[in-house]
Amino acid sequence: MKKNAPFFLFLFCFTLPRLEANAQVYYRGQDDTKKYYIAFSYGVGNAQWQSRFQNTFLYNTNGSVLESGDLTMKATNPSYNYNFNVCFPVGDKRIGLGISFEKYSMDKLSIISLSDTSAANVNIPNSYIYFRESFWFNKLYLMIQFPFHFCDGKPYSLDFVSCGGFYGYDGLKHLNFFGQDQIASTLFCNLSFIFDYDLKVEHARLFIQPMAEYKYFHNNGNEYPSTIVHNIFSYSLNFGVRVDVSKF
């Protein structure tokens, strides 16, 4: 079953008031080093795919078969994302919840190996399949931030951030690239650093966030013997603003 944007928005909006209530209770009597952030960012990046198709078909947008059988491929594509999250302190860390919408654009797949009736006519590994595609990954995640305390009392701060969650996808035009639209394993995790600077404007802080991320996809077991696996490694640089709402 494909997870889509309305589902993520409903779940996020349902959970956000409870996070805010918990944070307000926590903040009673706390010192100024404890911060409750709402953040928005925009990012640009690049992704590298390592994928495997077994006993299945890779289709064109018109429904014709591009390749069949077993296929191992690689791809590289640009990406950009919109990200929104909230976090509140627990001890000397912060935990939170976020939602992200990430756009991917592809133009070709690089064939590493191919085992079907057309394999003899393909010059492996310098062969390509033209595959023009664009789609969105819709991500929901839990987050933990570890502030570096040598920045306490300064107008800037540095945090180490770890996130993990799951994702859905929208806008895909090629059939079967992510299986037959059933429940699949769609997991991801990322690591990043946030460096921010206090703007002295309504407690807002401008930040940059370099990030490395891994996404895993495996189609539903009910599709056996067809197997589709994607390993996606991405790197991005995000720019954003976060506001310490505990100051209001």
**At 24, which helix (H) or strand (E)?**
helix 5-27
Which pLDDT score is estimated for 137? Answer: 95
Per-residue pLDDT at 93 exceeds 70:
yes
- Average the pLDDT over 159-171 and give the result: 95
Which pLDDT score is estimated for 74? Answer: 92
User: Please, what is the average pLDDT of the chain?
Assistant: 84
What are the chain's domains?
A: 5-27+36-247 (2.40.160.20)
* Pairwise CA distance, residues 212 & 218, whole Å: 21
Per-residue pLDDT at 6 exceeds 60:
no
What percent of the chain clears pLDDT 90, i.e. is strictly above it?
52
Give tens-digit pLDDT for 126-153.
688 888 999 999 999 999 999 998 888 8
